[in-house]
Structure 1
Amino acid sequence: MLDMVIKGGPVVWLLVGFSVVALTVIVLKAAQFYLLRDASPALVNNAIGAFESGEQEPEKRFAEAGGYTRAWLVNHALLLIKDTRLTSEQARLESERLAKAAINCRLSYLRILDVIAAMAPLLGLFGTVLGMIASFQAMEAAGSQVNPAVLSGGIWQALLTTAVGVAVAIPVSMVHSVFERRTEVQANQYEDDLARIFTAYARQRVQSRPVKLASAG
């Protein structure tokens, strides 16, 4: 394998470097997604349900939630609603800002995987074209004394870059799609949680308003 990498030339070395970068990002993102996982979905759903039913302090159910998790976002949304210095619109906007920050945290560095997945096959093809040009130049220089073994050796070395590029791109593209899909699911969950919370809050505000008695005619 090392011999093939050496014979592949600078393009293969660059692709190997891409694979190292991609592997590093994948390991870091996998650890991040594990730390930000929704460990207690039932707890969060129960807390939102408690708020919808009128419980006064449902946020105490997960006061120790870690940053940028679903429980963390719901906890902050409930605390913002109780902050008398904020209007309902301000509390909603701040909750949405926190949700976007949590999603952006999950999206960080995914662009690197996207670029590597797109660039690796192109670099492989570029290396193959360069290798084929060199092979045909050698054929032209040899004239009628062309050695088929030398020619075929140059061709397989040229095609090696395409194989390496595709080998790098396929797993990186698959992992990127998995991470992107998980982020999309989480974003939809955040949107649904905030919609439930602020819909319940608006309903409670309407119900708490004093009823005006009609004046006698």
Structure 2
Amino acid sequence: MDSSLAPAEHPETVNGALDLVLAGGPVVWLLIAMSVIALTTIIYKLVQFGMAGVGRSGNVEKAVTLYRNGNRREALAAVQSAGDPASITVATAIRGSLRTDVSEASVREEVERVATAEINTLKSHLGLLETIGSLAPLLGLLGTVLGMIQAFRAMEAAGRNVDPAILSGGIWAALLTTAAGLIVAIPVVAIASWFDRSILQVARKTEDAVTRIFTPDLTRRTESPVDEVRAAHV
């Protein structure tokens, strides 16, 4: 294919996209603004999740294993420099267990506070994505209704000299806003749902790790099976 044709095609594509936006009216411009806000928020959340180490829990498992084996200071060293919510919460629990001047109830309360704060940090700005995902289809539908009203008003004004092109042109321009609303909403809702599931997994892993810090390992056999049965009947 002749490369000299490419520059001529690009302006036509741009003009076609601009015509679609102009045909959609102010609702499409509003949806474009919402999509920009949503994209900025998504990028911010991805960077936040990456810096927080969401999905990486190897150091937490190592710390819990060391702690249950009696190596408390080594366990603290395994998580104290990490920045993910589970590591920060587990490190708080281990530091509290090393303090002899603080009761276990106070340590548990502080650990719960830290865990809640970390999870709430991960949840920040998700409400904005959920709002955009909910409003975008409604705005698209609103634009369609307004466009249909204009199309039928044009038909009424034309009287008996109705041109079918007037109606068909008004309808496709009206439906354009519904399509734009769905194009914005579908990926935003999907990505927001993924963020929610990821945060839920982090919360569950954090709760599991903290529980294992405060409770003994009852899955490990300390006696023979016969002795365990005998102890159960004493």
Matched residue of 1:54: which SS? coil
> 1:82-121 maps to which residues of 2 (within 5 A)?
82-121=98-137
Aligned to 2:22: 6
For structure 2, list consecutive stretches of 5 or more residues without a partner in the other structure.
1-16, 218-234
Alignment counterpart, residue 158 of structure 2, candidates 132, 139, 142: 142
Task: Indicate the percent of aligned positions where both proteins have the same amino acid.
Answer: 46
Q: Which is further off, 137-146 or 55-64? A: 55-64
Within the candidate set 194, 197, 203, 1:178 is matched to: 194
Structure 2 match to 1:24: 40
1:214 match: none
Give the length in aligned residue pairs: 200
Matched, 1:47 2:53: no
TM-score between the two structures when normalised by the length of structure 1: 0.88
> Following TM superposition, by how much is the alpha carbon of 1:149 offset from its aligned partner in structure 2, in angstroms?
1.1
Structure 2 counterpart SS, 1:64:
coil
- Given residue 162 of structure 1, which amino acid in structure 2 is its aligned partner? T
Partners of 1:56 and 1:19 lie apart in 2 by 49
Give yes or no for the alignment of 1:79 onto 2:95: yes
Aligned partners of 1:39, 1:106: CA distance in 2, in Å?
Answer: 13
Aligned AA (2:161): Q
Pair 1:194–1:11, CA change in 2 (3 A): same
Q: CA–CA distance in 1 between the matches of 2:109 and 2:134?
A: 36
Q: Runs of at least 4 residues of structure 1 off by over 3 A?
A: none
Q: In structure 1, how many angstroms separate the alpha carbons of the residues matched to 2:136 and 2:48?
A: 25
- State yes or no: 1:34 paired with 2:34: no
Distance 2:178 2:51 in 1: 37
TM-score, L = length of structure 2:
0.81
Unaligned runs of 5+ in 1: 202-217
